[in-house]
Chains A and B, each alone.
Chain A
Amino acid sequence: MSKRTPEGPPPPPTVQRVRIQYTKRGRLRFTSHRDIARAFERALRRAQVPMAYSAGFSPHPKISWVGAAPTGVASEAEYVEIGLAEHRDLDALARALDESLPDGIDIVEAVDAPVGTSLPDRIVASRWGIRLPGLEPSVVEAAVAAFLNAETIPVERLMKTGMRTLDARSAVVSMRAETGSCAILHLVVRHVTPAVRPDDVLSGLRTVADLVPPVPPEATRYAQGPLTETGEVGDPLAPDRSPTGAAGLTRQDADRDEAAIGTPI
């Protein structure tokens, strides 16, 4: 039996790896991760980014996804790493890609990935904000207290393998309620398997305090990265930036961070 090999020369090698922070805002929060991946691949082609491809019968562009916010959840801090077959200027690349992507998937920053470093290794926790319209601040505060006082909070979630029970409490590093015109929960959650999502935390609040939002809450991921000693979520791209802080820095729309909570674009 002869082993088949693809005809023609192998694809050109990867000469530059780029780490990208992007957002998922407004109506685009309803995209699934697969939707984002397809939109990204097409935007890369429209922007004529010289992608490196895998070898084989079914070549794929070199794109590595790092985590992904669930469908229906917005994010200011999603990450992806791409491999290029030709060198490109980071600012120009980020601009071209941002223009090519749908509004709502916006490029925040692009940096070169130093050889031998791993982005997924740096991403261990997320900071979330969950808007809870229609709930009394005092009710939310009481629920937060009850949540934090519990040792474990088993909740159920429907997964591909069927109904599973997971602990919504242990992965939560911190939780506080902001009580303005609309109550907002601020959470830092460690990435565990299976992941504890904003929905699971809300299930946990229902379990411990009977907290039932009258309208669907709106969750946004504000950051993901390393967990600092004080329990904050750090910037995962910080080690990649050059000491001058100039090269490769395209921190666009950074001012939108907190302002963008649940506001449709």
Chain B
Amino acid sequence: MAGESVFPLLESLLPLISKPIQYVGGELNSQVKDWDSAKVRWALMYPDAYEVGLPNQGVMILYEVLNEQPGVLAERTYSVWPDLAAKMRENGVPAFTVDGHRPVKDFDVLGISFSTELGYTNMLEHLDLAGIPIHAADRDDSHPLVIAGGHAAFNPEPIAAFIDAAVLGDGEQAVLEITEVLKQTKGQSRAERLHALAKAGGVYVPAFYDVDYLPDGRIQRVAPNRSDVPFRVHKRTTMDLDAWPYPKQPLVPLAETVHERMSVEIFRGCTRGCRFCQAGMITRPVRERSITGIGEMVEAGLKASGYEEVGLLSLSSADHSEIGDIAKGLADRYEGTQTSLSLPSTRVDAFNIDLAQELQRNGRRSGLTFAPEGGSERLRKVINKMVSKDDLVKTVTTAYGAGWRQVKLYFMCGLPTETDEDVLEIADMAREVIRVGRQVTGTRDVRCTVSIGGFVPKPHTPFQWASQLDAETTDHRLKLLRDAINSDKSTAKAIGFRYHDGKPGIVEGLLSRGDRRIGNVIEQVWRDGGIFDGWSEHFSYDRWMKAAEKQGIDVDWYTTRQREENEVLPWDHLDSGLDKEWLWADWQEALDEQELDDCRWIPCFDCGVCPQMGTEIQVGPTGVKLLPLSIV
């Protein structure tokens, strides 16, 4: 019977595997709705382990938005580790949801949120475990529609053969509109329903578009193969965040997860214009949640969850126009309650130490993290990260003066135009941080951690044309940097060095800027046993390179090759709102080491998003302050 729980079958397998609690469900604030009275049933998947997927805000938001609708049911499903997957195959247990333990195959839609391309093999594994054909072309009316979302869906071409559709941008309204179309087309064929979704707008159905190639392998054109679907599919934008205060009832798991806190998104979008940052480019414009809206979400969320930490999330949280009042207001409200606040993403220049003091007033003092991203002043101009070394040193000095002892610095290696010297300047910066730290604190007990990973050029950014640095050169530069840090004995022990080597970045680059021909490589890797590619103990560079070779794919052509202005890019028919001409002009300015200011504070520079999408920047200040919570 459709929708029947497989838990009785699963239960006898759980004593035999590691961390069984992650498959049991029953999280606080989760729900299991009646199967039979639901007209549209969604399975929402985060294609990684439960411990990573559960805290994902996107899935949590859509889960609640959908379940609030009468006649609509949403349950969650996550990747299962190989130990359980083997036992499920052995015992005929299909992929299931953690809420009702219902077979994923029985749902109308399987929505998969891709934060990263490294989840693609996990999608194939889960489809296979669910008994759903991995190729969209092989599915029939009995199978769920497989719809991709999340940031990686802005170039879904590498997984075009495996998904039925993709949605670009914000999901809150999109899932409701899709639900409505599915209600209206209930009983129709798969093709008819997909057609209805494509016609309604904002849903990309890869099968309705053909790709032609030039003899040299570049794309000639991408065009619809039927008349009534749009030439370009536009991203979705949710404008009024205060109208969408989700999650209202955060899911609180029993199992341990990567973020043991409650999160409130304080604004969406970013116009800082860091040229490497796909998130900042594809989520424009900036839309702030109001200070009162934030206060209400924090209050309701803490009450519903019992968490003792609140993360104020956004792409650059100190940039909220009223962040000072928000932090002070919340710190006042929760004084003496052991509730701590954190700002997970914070820019050096926007950060002031008063703000940091407010954040740690009621809780534990955590480390401070800054992200200069580029080692040299010149390189920071190329990437448009407008932070000077003096700014950083000044901020860090104040932080040490205010009692912090540990500072983390984030960088990337392999940025366009980068030389060995640019990367070596990171060592100078870290030494300077330690030097001022010792001076200010009068102790040698200060630490600085340098964290660095390889840069991967992403679609819909000014660097989408750039050559990715090969893995060997990346690793060579990282070694030079490590040697430079270690060469100064007076500071070497005070500086921690963490890095990601260049190889995983090449695979990520292949998948990020790949086209439909990459699909065969993904399938080959999965058939060769590749899953959990985001985990170093499972990732195999060699497996990817062998699969690419077997499928006749030249990895360098996709990664280290610089693209020309007139090349048709695989994602050109997918509209993030940004004008390609503007992106190209910004790329040229990057090469000229020209910075570009934030349009929140200067006149519009015509990136294209607001006029095309019918959106506009929504920022305060409102001037409202958070009042103390009165006990009624």
User: What B residues does A43 contact at CB under 8 A?
Assistant: 306
Among A34, A42, A104, A216, contact of B306 (Cβ-Cβ < 8 Å): A42
Docked Cα-Cα span, A234 to B542, in Å, equals 60
User: What A residues does B254 contact at CB under 8 A?
Assistant: 28, 31, 35, 38-39, 102
Cβ of B552 under 8 Å from chain A: no
Cβ of A41 under 8 Å from chain B: yes
Cβ of A138 under 8 Å from chain B: no
Chain B nearest Cβ from A24, distance in angstroms: 11
Assess the A58–B306 pair: CB atoms within 8 A. no
Assess the A44–B20 pair: CB atoms within 8 A. no
Cβ of A27 under 8 Å from chain B: yes
User: What B residues does A57 contact at CB under 8 A?
Assistant: 364-365
Docked Cα-Cα span, A224 to B302, in Å, equals 35
Cβ of A165 under 8 Å from chain B: no
Q: Which chain A residues numbered 34 to 77 have a C-beta less than 8 Å away from chain B?
A: 34-35, 38-39, 41-46, 53, 57-59, 61, 71-72
Docked Cα-Cα span, A28 to B308, in Å, equals 23
Cβ of A242 under 8 Å from chain B: no
Cβ of A32 under 8 Å from chain B: yes
- In the complex with contacts A4-B403, A27-B26, A57-B364, A45-B306 CB distance below 8 A: yes
Cβ of B16 under 8 Å from chain A: yes
* Residue of B whose beta carbon sits closest to that of A215: B12
Among A38, A45, A71, contact of B256 (Cβ-Cβ < 8 Å): A38
Among B16, B256, B338, B443, contact of A1 (Cβ-Cβ < 8 Å): B443
Cβ of B299 under 8 Å from chain A: no
Among A41, A58, A216, contact of B16 (Cβ-Cβ < 8 Å): A216
Docked Cα-Cα span, A217 to B101, in Å, equals 22
Docked Cα-Cα span, A100 to B308, in Å, equals 16
Cβ of A116 under 8 Å from chain B: no
Cβ of A264 under 8 Å from chain B: yes
Docked Cα-Cα span, A61 to B16, in Å, equals 34
Assess the A71–B306 pair: CB atoms within 8 A. no
Instruction: Say whether chain B's binding surface is mostly helix, strand, loop, or mixed.
Output: loop
* Residue of A whose beta carbon sits closest to that of B403: A4
Assess the A42–B21 pair: CB atoms within 8 A. no
Assess the A264–B11 pair: CB atoms within 8 A. yes
* Residue of B whose beta carbon sits closest to that of A100: B306
- In the complex with contacts A1-B445, A71-B20, A59-B338 CB distance below 8 A: yes
Assess the A2–B442 pair: CB atoms within 8 A. yes
Cβ of B15 under 8 Å from chain A: yes
Q: Which chain B residues numbered 298 to 334 have a C-beta less than 8 Å away from chain A?
A: 302-308
Assess the B260–A38 pair: CB atoms within 8 A. yes
Docked Cα-Cα span, A57 to B302, in Å, equals 22
Docked Cα-Cα span, A215 to B8, in Å, equals 13
Assess the A42–B252 pair: CB atoms within 8 A. yes
Assess the A42–B307 pair: CB atoms within 8 A. yes
User: What A residues does B308 contact at CB under 8 A?
Assistant: 41-42, 45
Assess the A46–B21 pair: CB atoms within 8 A. no
Chain A nearest Cβ from B7, distance in angstroms: 8
- In the complex with contacts A45-B308, A57-B365, A71-B20, A30-B260 CB distance below 8 A: no
Chain A nearest Cβ from B347, distance in angstroms: 26
Q: Which chain A residues numbered 1 to 17 have a C-beta less than 8 Å away from chain B?
A: 1-2, 4
B-contact bits for A235-265, CB 8 A (1 contact / 0 none)? 0000000000000000000000000000010
User: What B residues does A104 contact at CB under 8 A?
Assistant: 26
Cβ of B24 under 8 Å from chain A: yes
Docked Cα-Cα span, A264 to B12, in Å, equals 12
Assess the A32–B306 pair: CB atoms within 8 A. no
User: What A residues does B443 contact at CB under 8 A?
Assistant: 1-2
A-contact bits for B342-366, CB 8 A (1 contact / 0 none)? 0000000000000000000000110
Chain A nearest Cβ from B302, distance in angstroms: 8
User: What B residues does A72 contact at CB under 8 A?
Assistant: 14-15, 20
Docked Cα-Cα span, A123 to B232, in Å, equals 70
Assess the A27–B24 pair: CB atoms within 8 A. yes
User: What A residues does B11 contact at CB under 8 A?
Assistant: 27, 264
Docked Cα-Cα span, A103 to B30, in Å, equals 13
* Residue of B whose beta carbon sits closest to that of A216: B15
User: What A residues does B305 contact at CB under 8 A?
Assistant: 42, 46
Docked Cα-Cα span, A100 to B307, in Å, equals 13
* Residue of B whose beta carbon sits closest to that of A35: B254
* Residue of A whose beta carbon sits closest to that of B27: A102
Docked Cα-Cα span, A31 to B303, in Å, equals 23
Assess the A58–B255 pair: CB atoms within 8 A. no
Cβ of B28 under 8 Å from chain A: yes
Docked Cα-Cα span, A58 to B366, in Å, equals 10
User: What A residues does B303 contact at CB under 8 A?
Assistant: 46
- In the complex with contacts A4-B403, A43-B306, A46-B305, A58-B338 CB distance below 8 A: no
* Residue of A whose beta carbon sits closest to that of B19: A32
Chain A nearest Cβ from B630, distance in angstroms: 15
Chain A nearest Cβ from B308, distance in angstroms: 6
User: What A residues does B403 contact at CB under 8 A?
Assistant: 4
Docked Cα-Cα span, A59 to B338, in Å, equals 8
Q: Which chain B residues numbered 428 to 480 have a C-beta less than 8 Å away from chain A?
A: 442-445
Assess the A102–B306 pair: CB atoms within 8 A. no
Among B26, B256, B442, contact of A102 (Cβ-Cβ < 8 Å): B26
* Residue of A whose beta carbon sits closest to that of B364: A58
Chain A nearest Cβ from B428, distance in angstroms: 27
Assess the B21–A30 pair: CB atoms within 8 A. yes
Docked Cα-Cα span, A4 to B406, in Å, equals 14
User: What B residues does A42 contact at CB under 8 A?
Assistant: 28, 252, 305-308
Chain A nearest Cβ from B339, distance in angstroms: 9
Docked Cα-Cα span, A35 to B260, in Å, equals 12
Task: Among B15, B28, B338, B445, find the residue whose CB has the most chain A CB atoms closer than 10 A.
Answer: B15
Chain B nearest Cβ from A42, distance in angstroms: 3
Chain B nearest Cβ from A35, distance in angstroms: 5
Task: Among B28, B256, B403, find the residue whose CB has the most chain A CB atoms closer than 10 A.
Answer: B28
* Residue of A whose beta carbon sits closest to that of B15: A216
Docked Cα-Cα span, A103 to B254, in Å, equals 12
Task: Among A27, A34, A53, find the residue whose CB has the most chain B CB atoms closer than 10 A.
Answer: A27
Docked Cα-Cα span, A41 to B252, in Å, equals 12
Assess the A216–B12 pair: CB atoms within 8 A. yes
Chain A nearest Cβ from B71, distance in angstroms: 27
Docked Cα-Cα span, A28 to B27, in Å, equals 11
A-contact bits for B18-34, CB 8 A (1 contact / 0 none)? 01110011101000000
Docked Cα-Cα span, A100 to B28, in Å, equals 10
* Residue of A whose beta carbon sits closest to that of B252: A42
Chain A nearest Cβ from B354, distance in angstroms: 15
Assess the B20–A35 pair: CB atoms within 8 A. no
* Residue of A whose beta carbon sits closest to that of B335: A8
Chain A nearest Cβ from B99, distance in angstroms: 13
Assess the A102–B20 pair: CB atoms within 8 A. no
User: What B residues does A4 contact at CB under 8 A?
Assistant: 403
Docked Cα-Cα span, A58 to B308, in Å, equals 12
User: What B residues does A34 contact at CB under 8 A?
Assistant: 256
**Interchain Cβ contacts under 8 Å between A and B, 30 examples:** A1-B443, A2-B442, A2-B443, A4-B403, A27-B24, A27-B26, A30-B14, A30-B20, A30-B21, A31-B255, A32-B21, A35-B256, A39-B254, A42-B306, A45-B306, A45-B308, A46-B303, A46-B305, A57-B365, A59-B338, A59-B364, A61-B338, A71-B21, A72-B20, A102-B26, A102-B254, A216-B12, A216-B15, A216-B16, A264-B7
Nearest 7 pairs between A and B by C-beta? Answer: A42-B306, A46-B306, A45-B306, A216-B15, A30-B20, A30-B21, A27-B24
Interface residues in chain A, defined as those with a beta carbon under 8 Å from any beta carbon in chain B: 1-2, 4, 27-28, 30-32, 34-35, 38-39, 41-46, 53, 57-59, 61, 71-72, 100, 102-104, 215-216, 264
Other CB < 8 Å A-B pairs besides A31-B254, A46-B304, 17 of them?
A2-B442, A28-B26, A30-B20, A31-B21, A38-B256, A41-B308, A42-B305, A43-B306, A44-B306, A46-B305, A46-B306, A53-B338, A59-B364, A71-B20, A72-B20, A216-B12, A264-B7
Interface residues in chain B, defined as those with a beta carbon under 8 Å from any beta carbon in chain A: 7, 11-12, 14-16, 19-21, 24-26, 28, 252, 254-256, 260, 302-308, 338, 364-365, 403, 442-445
